[in-house]
Amino acid sequence: MSAIGPNQTIGFTTISRTVASLAVGVVHTVERAVIGDARMRTARGNAWEAVCADRARAAQRRDLDRLVAELAAARAVATERRGARDAQPVS
């Protein structure tokens, strides 16, 4: 039984959907053959990579915050010392 009746024609959208579907199937098959089943990207793998990337960014942000705090503290100490030195009388 055919999905296309005697008065129906194949439209451009039907052809492009068919071609797109076949292209996705070919890409999937080639990817599976080239990299193997064990290395196929999955939603779970993508989610885990995103979690790891978020953790790495958070660690970098913590390191940068710590460095900025250390620099601010060092600057405050230097400013305090400079102010104390300027306040001493000159003989």
Q: What is the pTM of this model?
A: 0.48
pLDDT at 19: 86
Same domain as 48, residue 26: no
pLDDT tens-digit profile, the chain (91 residues): 455 555 666 676 777 888 888 888 888 788 778 877 777 778 888 999 999 999 999 999 999 999 999 999 999 999 888 877 776 666 5
Q: Does residue 2 lie within any of the structural domains?
A: no
Q: List the one residue out of 26, 25, 28, 22 whose CA is nearest residue 40.
A: 28
Asked if 51 and 43 touch (Cβ cutoff 8 Å), the reply is: no
Q: Say if residue 22 is in the same domain as residue 37.
A: yes
- What's the pLDDT at 1? 47
Residue 6 lies in a domain: no
Write out the residue range of the structural domain in which residue 70 sits. 42-85
The domain total for the chain is 2
48 and 78 housed in the same domain? yes
DSSP for residue 20: H
- Rounded CA gap, 54 and 51, in Å? 5
Domain assignment present for residue 70? The answer is: yes
**CA separation for the pair 14, 18 (Å, rounded):** 6
Distance CA 49, CA 43 (A): 10
